[in-house]
């Protein structure tokens, strides 16, 4: 059981509606429903009765509500006591990326003689911003479509965060040496439906959502063929290296992929519609470790663009 699950349960109970709870929590209704369903599964009880007229707490839900409310109150008190930055800890949250992981290793080597605990957490855009908002991580690295920036800024404003853009990027297709198109230099947008794709975690800001919008705009392009679904970075690499399945990614590729015989083919006829940047606590100065991490990320971006 997680604090987040109890928070979503109590908020839904207070508002008597999944939609109103989602608005209050600045997330989506399907996400609220999913979190509560997982809590019900974990507890082995039904907390809400659902019908066409809405939702109503069950007897078990009423029994849980008071205890959950007390736990959340105490959790907020504890959080207020420990929100002060700990000088011996530096954590970053970000999307699945060998580049971001390698940057953490570089920062560690710079400060390995100091008593600092390092950490890197992977997740969706919502999970990354939650980490920074809840002081789990100092900064979070995200990318999202420019068309979603207005919505994103609204969400992080309520979480008391700010987004600092670093670069505009396009998309590419990652594929391995077993793929028949491995030796090509680029792919036409209209060719994407011919490929077999891996689908990552479903998220409002996920890559798949960006691509679907681009494809809808291109009337001659059909739907993509997703044959494997997983949030495992290890499975993604394994599928790319050993099968003809590929995946979509941002046009910011680690050199380590070349050693694994994985290539990134550019997708023609698509502009740089993604914005890569980082989120941080609003009006809060970053630590020296965070500044170095961001500066190294900027260098990586500049070096990559210079090679294009």
Residue-wise pLDDT tens digits, 130-183: 999 988 899 999 988 888 888 889 889 988 999 999 998 888 899 999 999 999
Which of 83-87, 184-188, 199-203, 290-294 is the least confident region? 83-87
pLDDT of residue 301: 86
Band (pLDDT 50/70/90 cuts) for residue 204 is: very low
CA 241, 242, 248: angle at the middle one, nearest 5? 50
User: What tokens were used for 222?
Assistant: 């059909």
Q: Note whether 198 and 239 are within 8 A (CB).
A: yes
Distance between CA 91 and CA 117 in Å, rounded? 8
- Structure-model confidence comparison of residues 65 and 271, the more confident one: 65
Residues whose CB is less than 8 angstroms from the CB of residue 293 and which lie 6 or more positions away in sequence, other chains included: 92, 103, 104, 107, 139
Q: Which of 67-76, 82-91, 136-145, 175-184 has the lowest mean pLDDT?
A: 82-91
Round to the nearest angstrom and report the end-to-end CA distance of the chain. 47
When pLDDT is averaged across residues 121-137 and rounded to a whole number, the result is 88
Q: Does pLDDT of 14 surpass 60?
A: yes
Element at 56 (helix H, strand E):
strand 54-57
Choose between 259 and 13: higher pLDDT. 13
Burial class (CB in 10 A: 0-12, 13-18, 19+), 192: buried
Tokens coding 123: 């997740």
Do residues 182 and 176 lie in contact, with contact meaning Cβ atoms separated by under 8 Å? yes
Question: In the chain, what are the domains?
Answer: 3-82 (1.10.10.10), 89-164+274-307 (3.40.190.10), 171-267 (3.40.190.290)
Report, in this order, helix, strand and coil percent for the chain, each rounded to 5. 50, 25, 30
């Amino acid at each position: 059981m997680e604090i987040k699950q109890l928070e979503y349960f109590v908020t839904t109970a207070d508002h008597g509606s999944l939609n109103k709870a989602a608005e209050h929590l600045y997330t989506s209704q399907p996400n609220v429903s999913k979190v509560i369903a997982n809590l019900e599964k974990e507890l082995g009880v039904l907390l809400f009765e659902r019908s066409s007229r809405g939702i109503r707490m069950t007897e078990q839900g009423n029994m849980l509500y008071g205890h959950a409310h007390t736990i959340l109150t105490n959790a907020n008190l504890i959080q207020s006591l420990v929100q002060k930055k700990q000088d011996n800890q530096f954590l970053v949250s970000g999307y699945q990326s060998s580049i971001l992981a390698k940057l953490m290793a570089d920062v560690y080597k710079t400060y390995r003689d100091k008593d600092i605990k390092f950490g890197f957490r992977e997740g969706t855009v919502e999970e990354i911003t939650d980490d920074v908002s809840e002081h789990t991580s100092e900064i979070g690295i995200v990318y999202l479509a420019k068309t979603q920036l207005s919505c994103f800024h609204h969400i992080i404003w309520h979480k008391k965060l700010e987004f600092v853009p670093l670069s505009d990027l396009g998309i590419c297709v990652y594929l391995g040496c077993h793929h028949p198109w491995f030796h090509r230099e680029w792919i036409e947008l209209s060719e994407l439906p011919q490929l077999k794709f891996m689908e990552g975690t479903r998220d409002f800001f996920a890559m798949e959502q960006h691509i679907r919008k681009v494809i809808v705009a291109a009337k001659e392009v059909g739907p993509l063929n997703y044959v494997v679904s997983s949030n495992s970075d290890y499975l993604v690499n394994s599928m790319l290296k050993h099968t003809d399945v590929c995946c979509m990614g941002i046009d910011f590729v680690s050199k380590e992929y070349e050693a694994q015989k994985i290539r990134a083919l550019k997708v023609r006829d698509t502009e740089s519609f993604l914005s890569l940047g980082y989120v941080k606590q609003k009006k809060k100065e970053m630590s020296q470790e965070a500044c170095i991490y961001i500066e190294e990320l900027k260098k990586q971006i500049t070096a990559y663009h210079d090679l294009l």
